[in-house]
Every structure is written in C-alpha cells, then in structure tokens.
C-alpha cells in the first residue's frame, strides 16, 4: 500500500464525471464497494428498508380504503401523501446511516489505513461515499415506486408529472445526504458537530419544506404541468449538479491531510517510513575440503 503523501501522479483526484464513467464501465470505486457490502451485511439498513416498505404499504392501503376514489382529483392527493412520506423516510434513514459510518471511521480505530496508507485521493473517498448514498436512496425510492404508480390510475395526475416530481425529490434527498457527509467530515469534535448539525437542521428545515412544497405544487394543477415542469426539472438538475460538486470538494478538503485528520485529532505523520525488515542471518562459513584418506602412504 502507498502512503497518503504519495506522489501527485498516484494520488491525482478523478473528476466526478470520470468517476461516473468508470462506474458505468464496470470499474467500481473501492469505497463504494466497501460501503455497499457493509450495508448488505448489516441489519440496520435492512431494518430501515423494511420500515419504509411497511409504512408505504400501510399508508397506501389506508388511503385506498378511506378516500373517495370516484372523485377526479384523488390521484394527486394520493401521490403527494405517499411521495412526501417516502421523501421524509429516505431523507432521514440514508443520511443517518452514511453520517454514522463517517463518524465511526473518523473517530474510530477501524479505518485508520484508509487515509494514511492508500493510493486513493480524498476526493475519491468522498465520491465513493456519495455513490453509496446515491444507490441507497435509489433502493428506497424503488421500494415506493409500485405504490406511486397507482396514482395515475386514480386520475388527477399524469405519468410525466409523477416521474419528474419523483426525480426532483430524489435529487433533493441525494443533496441532503451529501450535506450530511460534509457535516460529519468537519475536523472538529463530536460535540461541535452535534451543535452545528442541530443549528443547520433548525434553520435549514423550513427551506427544505418550502422546496418540497414547491415541487409538490406541480401535482395540484388542474392541467398537466408539461413544459414548465420539464424546464424546472432541467434547471434544477444543472444547478444541483454544480452544488453537488461543491459539496464533494468541501467534504474532501475537510478530510485532506493538509487541513485535518480523517480519523484522529492528533497531527498526522509528516513523513511515512516503511517498516524495517529484519536482516537475514549470516550464512555459515563453508567447511574446508577434507584430504583423501591414506594420501601420505601412497606418496611414500
């Protein structure tokens, strides 16, 4: 393994576009593989997924049994309720899991080699965690997709609106997860991280709720949103990708060796020295050649 202070040619950070291209080509980020393996093997992610699935099933069954489906506008109410619940569950479960993993690695003893003895750059570590958030959020939204597909059958909302609004809120959940990674990667103590997270949650929750309400407002139109919703979706995607890149760079700068320490608060070693190998024992001296037996008598 190479140290964190290896040459820039070895530790060159790949852009996010190149990283996504390598993922599409089948070359996965090692941190992404590690995070997903841990998510599959652990019980926490499975429990959260089953909780979301149970809530979505129970809520959809209760609404179908109690609401008046003969009305022409029951579809948007069904869709807005289920999508809002799915967004809230995903925005809580996925960032909590990824943030907990980051805190455990940053302040624990399990992953000390991830920064000091790895050829990966800090940006690649954060990109791997971002891809794991992306995949887990997609898993949660895929669990709610069959229930959301019932909404167009109840009338009041069309299929393109369902797809675009769901995509907007999925992108919102991904942004919340990446903001959680930025928060947990700060080079401060856990107490200060809790204080900063509490203040950020108090002041950021109203803006997040207003954004979700703005996205949901497209489903309450009497006419299909059409082109305005598509333009709004494309603009959000462009500016959201720029914001994601900024958040990834921020989190990577916080865990970089020059700005902080990823797992511990003490100063990192200035120079990495390989472990000393023990010298091999000296070889034994060769034995002197023996003279042939009876050589003196034959000479006489």
- Mean pLDDT of all residues in 247-275: 60
Residue pair 214/224 in contact (Cβ under 8 Å)? The answer is: no
Q: What is the pLDDT of residue 90?
A: 92
Poorest-confidence range of 28-37, 235-244, 260-269?
Answer: 260-269
Cβ burial, residue 104 (10 Å; 0-12/13-18/19+): middle
Q: Is the pLDDT of residue 43 over 90?
A: no
First vs last Cα of the chain: how many Å apart?
A: 70
Note whether residue 291 is domain-resident: no
Residue range(s) defining the domain that contains residue 127:
16-269
Higher-pLDDT residue of 280 and 182 is 182
Query: What are the phi and psi torsion angles at 205 (to 5°)?
Result: -60, -45
- Whole-structure pTM value: 0.72
Note whether residue 292 is domain-resident: no
The answer for residues whose C-beta is within 8 angstroms of residue 160's C-beta and 6 or more apart is 224, 225, 226, 229, 230
User: What proportion of the chain, given as a percentage, has pLDDT over 70?
Assistant: 72
Q: Is the pLDDT of residue 204 over 70?
A: yes
For the ranges 4-8, 31-35, 241-245, the maximum mean pLDDT occurs at 241-245
**Cα–Cα distance for residue pair 17/8, rounded to 1 Å:** 20
DSSP per-residue letters across 264-295: -SSPPPSS--PPPPPPPPPPPPPPPPPPPTTH
Residue pair 151/162 in contact (Cβ under 8 Å)? The answer is: yes
- Mean pLDDT of all residues in 77-84: 89
Residue pair 105/111 in contact (Cβ under 8 Å)? The answer is: yes
Note whether residue 178 is domain-resident: yes
Note whether residue 281 is domain-resident: no
Q: Is the pLDDT of residue 174 over 80?
A: yes
Say which DSSP state 26 is in: T
Note whether residue 258 is domain-resident: yes
Number of Cβ atoms within 10 Å of the Cβ of 71: 12
Note whether residue 217 is domain-resident: yes
Residue pair 173/165 in contact (Cβ under 8 Å)? The answer is: no
**Cα–Cα distance for residue pair 224/221, rounded to 1 Å:** 7
Number of domains in the chain: 1
Note whether residue 202 is domain-resident: yes
- Mean pLDDT of all residues in 67-79: 77
3-class DSSP state of 90? helix
Distance of CA 190 to the CA centre of its chain: 20
Q: Is the pLDDT of residue 44 over 60?
A: yes
Pull the structure tokens for residue 257. Answer: 């060796």
Note whether residue 259 is domain-resident: yes
Cα dihedral across residues 175, 240, 88, 133: positive or negative: negative
Cβ burial, residue 25 (10 Å; 0-12/13-18/19+): exposed
Average pLDDT, the chain: 77
Number of Cβ atoms within 10 Å of the Cβ of 216: 19
Q: What is the pLDDT of residue 269?
A: 47
Residue pair 118/4 in contact (Cβ under 8 Å)? The answer is: yes
Higher-pLDDT residue of 244 and 291 is 244
């Amino acid at each position: 393994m190479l140290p964190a202070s290896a040459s820039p040619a070895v530790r060159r950070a790949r852009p996010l576009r190149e990283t996504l291209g390598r993922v599409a080509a089948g070359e996965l980020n090692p941190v992404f593989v590690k995070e997903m393996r841990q998510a599959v093997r652990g019980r926490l992610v499975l429990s959260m997924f089953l909780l979301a699935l149970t809530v979505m099933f129970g809520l959809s069954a209760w609404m179908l049994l109690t609401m008046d489906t003969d009305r022409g506008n029951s579809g948007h109410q069904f869709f807005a309720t289920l999508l809002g619940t799915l967004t809230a569950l995903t925005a809580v479960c996925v960032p909590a899991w990824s943030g907990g993993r980051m805190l455990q690695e940053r302040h624990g003893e399990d992953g000390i080699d991830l920064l000091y003895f790895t050829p990966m750059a800090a940006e690649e570590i954060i990109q791997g965690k971002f891809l794991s958030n992306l995949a887990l959020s997609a898993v949660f939204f895929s669990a709610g997709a069959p229930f959301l597909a019932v909404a167009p059958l109840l009338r009041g909302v069309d299929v393109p609106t369902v797809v675009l609004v769901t995509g907007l809120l999925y992108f919102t959940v991904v942004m919340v997860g990446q903001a959680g990674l930025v928060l947990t990667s700060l080079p401060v103590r856990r107490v200060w991280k809790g204080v900063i997270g509490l203040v950020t949650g108090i002041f950021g929750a109203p803006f997040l709720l207003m954004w979700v309400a703005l996205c949901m407002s497209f489903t309450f139109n009497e006419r299909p949103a059409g082109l305005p919703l598509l333009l709004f979706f494309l603009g959000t995607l462009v500016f959201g990708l720029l914001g994601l890149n900024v958040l990834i760079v921020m989190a990577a700068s916080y865990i970089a060796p020059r700005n902080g320490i990823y797992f511990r608060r003490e100063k990192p070693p200035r120079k990495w020295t390989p472990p000393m190998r023990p010298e091999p024992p000296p070889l034994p001296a060769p034995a002197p050649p023996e003279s042939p037996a009876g050589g003196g008598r034959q000479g006489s």
